[in-house]
Structure 1
Amino acid sequence: MTTPLIIDTDPGVDDAFALALAAASPEVDLIGVTTVFGNVSPELTTRNALRVLALLDREDVPVAAGAARPLVHPQPHVSKAHGSDGLSGFADTLPEPTRGPDPRDAVTLLKDLLTAADRPVTIAPIGPLTNIALLLAAHPGLRAKIARLVVMGGGIRGGNVTAAAEFNLWCDPEAARRVLVGAEVPVTLVPMDLTRRCAVSAAWLAELGAASEVGAKLVGLTPDYLATYRKFLGWDGMALHDAVAVAEAVRPGILATRRFPVDVECAFGPGRGGLLVDERLEHADRPGIDVAVDADLDGLRGFVLDRLRALGVRQ
């Protein structure tokens, strides 16, 4: 039996790969996509999600636009790593969608999909956590319908947008704290410490690009993102942060996890948006969440590549 899956996203190059992985995985049934501000404006994240699903021949999946700003304080800026349109300036190389976004807002679509589901739903939030915080606050009665949240975000040993904060948590620290601290539903957090270690090489991308037209289109979205990561990694490759989280949603246990109490810094100052993971043994009995700490890196890269290569040629 497949697991119903909803992806909450701000596409984003690695988000596009994550959506493709979900579409290529028979273990899950992608029943909805919700979008949020983040890597680019909410208008562009929604358009990008619709275009990626059109590429994947999955326009049956409803896409609902969500939060355009954080819960409390404005977001200072958007990511530069993904280019001007979120897809390295190549969003227009993807098919034009034949349908627009769902008329419902993201939280309403989440509510309706959870209510209608005949078994618990996995939600993979791979952008800022604003939509998920709003869902949990507005509809507490639906918690039992959520099998777990598989969240991409945070950095145990520091961040990428500041010394302390990873981008997704930094975008809306108050929402992240609402979702992760004293979690009301099961949570698996996939931090950038691990996703960065899972970075793929230019040769990996070339292999995907040669496999099919869909693979070539996905690889064609990467130039700006790849250029950023060449500088960051020091070698010719890039991190597929969000696809690593979706891999865990697709195949539970592909990432090794440990349970830790966590917090998110919401004060103004250099630590804002930082993830605080309490690794002290004396606090191991405190409530916590599952944090992904390790993986068979080559096995994970191979798993993602095999799934994406199987997407086939778009007619």
Structure 2
Amino acid sequence: MQQAVLPTGCHLGKKLLILDVDVGVDDALALMMALAAPNVHILAITCTHGNTGIDNVCKNVLRMLKLCNRMEIPVYRGAGTSLLGVVHHASEYHGKDGLGDVPDPDAPGVEHIKSEHAANAMARIVNEHPGQVRCADIWERNSVVTRIEACFRTHPTFPSKLKSLYIMGGNMEARGNVRVCGEFNFVTDPEAASIVLSHFTCPVYIATLEYCLRHRLPWDIYEKWVNQDTAKARFMKKISAHTADYSQEGEGSKALLFGSGFVSCDSYAMSAAIDDSVVTERAQYGVSVELHGSLTRGMMFVDTLDILKLQHKATDFLECDMEMYKQQLNNALK
């Protein structure tokens, strides 16, 4: 069995991260942020379907690692459906391939993917470094929780051995982006989200939909950001063009959702995983997921009055230091 052997001194003083991804455009940015952070050591990247199909996700991760000259990081393939076998993708937002439909003929092939299943790899690595590994489920859709739930189901001690878990997903104000009251990440696999929020004993940090939408990157700043004279900036401009066009076109529900700025949801959770001081206001509540409502299935409910006396509390992000966040974005494209 493969061992997560760390070269002597390579991780001293650094945060140990496992990144669980379903690489679309915002996942790509979040990956670049983590890869550029000097205080982070990435032990593994695990893949699942979500923004696009599982095959595309694996290819997209390898493409990002090649761009950032980090092909030494092991990548593992995971699930292609939710717990109930439902598949939801987001080609309208991320493009059919997840990265804006601007393929690279020289991208690495899937032969670089490790043979070990992602859930087993996550559990193994955490067992090798108990209490030290942060799991950043910063990536959208089913990857947010399905992989983590699979680890819990097959390795019951996994949650207690994690140092912390960062999630992008859910909502605090019954505000939906795909259903009346449901945020897409939790809507696509409510059962897995419920299990994770109810049973994980490690600290859980959540960047909700509302948190992300409140901290949009103004379009003028976005334009300056992607027009820097670097290879990474040119790449980000190319893959995000489809998403930017989708976010700015038309009126009605899309205008209300995206407003006057670029929203890269996964990057907000990654920002906190890198340096949690970027979150300037937060709150701890018992949270879980509605599984049965016809309009509210997949909605994250927040027990602000502690009526349910839920044992495990999650930390919900409320306010962000935008100057610090922008600096992290700039560092990612250097």
Say whether residues 1:259 and 2:275 are aligned partners: no
Deviation at 1:145, TM superposition (A): 2.9
Counterpart mapping for 1:74-89 below 5 A: 74-75=86-87, 78-89=90-101
Which stretches in structure 2 are left out of the alignment for 5+ residues? 1-12
Q: What is aligned with 1:313?
A: none
Helix, strand or coil at the partner of 1:290: strand
Partners of 1:13 and 1:94 lie apart in 2 by: 18
Residues 182, 288 of structure 1: 8 Å contact kept: no
Stretch deviating more after TM superposition (282-291 or 63-72): 282-291
Per-residue CA deviations over 1:172-208 (Å, capped at 9, x if unaligned) read 1000001112432210011010111222233333333
Query: Which of the numbers 274, 282, 304 marks the counterpart of 1:250?
Result: 274
Provide closer, same or farther for how the CA distance between residues 194 and 218 of structure 1 changes in structure 2, counting only shifts above 3 A: same
**RMSD between superposed Cα atoms in Å:** 2.1
Q: Residues of 1 paired with 2:203 and 2:166: CA distance? A: 9
Change (3 A) 1:167 1:60: same
1:99-144 C-alpha deviation (Å, 9 max, x unpaired): 5211111111112221233751011112321110011221122334
Partner residue, 1:109: 121
How many residues matched?
Answer: 308
Alignment of 1:142-157 (within 5 A): 142-157=158-173
SS at match of 2:94: coil
Given residue 308 of structure 1, which amino acid in structure 2 is its aligned partner?
A: A
SS of 2:93's equivalent? Answer: coil
Check the 8 A contact 1:164/1:274 in 2, yes or no: yes
Residue from 223, 230, 240 that aligns with 2:241 = 223
Structure 1 residue 40 displacement after superposition: 0.9
- Of 257, 264, 267, the match for 1:240: 264
What does residue 124 of structure 1 align with? 136
Q: Aligned partner of 2:278: which letter?
A: I
Structure 1 residue aligned with 2:68: 56
Q: Which runs of 5+ in 1 are unaligned?
A: 311-315
Whole-Å separation in 1 of the counterparts to 2:89 and 2:24: 15
TM-score of the aligned structures, taking structure 2 as reference length? 0.86
Which amino acid letter does the alignment assign opposite residue 130 of structure 1? Answer: T
**One-letter identity of the residue aligned with 1:13:** V
How many angstroms does 1:17 deviate by? 0.1
Structure 1 match to 2:215: 198
Match of 2:58 in 1: 46
Cα distance per residue 1:147-175 (max 9 Å; x no partner): 10000001112111111111111111000
1:277 aligned to 2:295? no
Distance in 2 (CA, whole Å) between partners of 1:95 and 1:111 is: 33
Distance 1:77 1:281 in 2: 35
Deviation at 1:302, TM superposition (A): 2.0
SS in 2 for 1:218: helix
Q: Is 1:213 the equivalent of 2:231?
A: yes
Residue 288 (structure 2) pairs with residue 288 (structure 1) = no
Distance 1:19 1:136, change over 3 A: same
AA aligned opposite 1:270: L
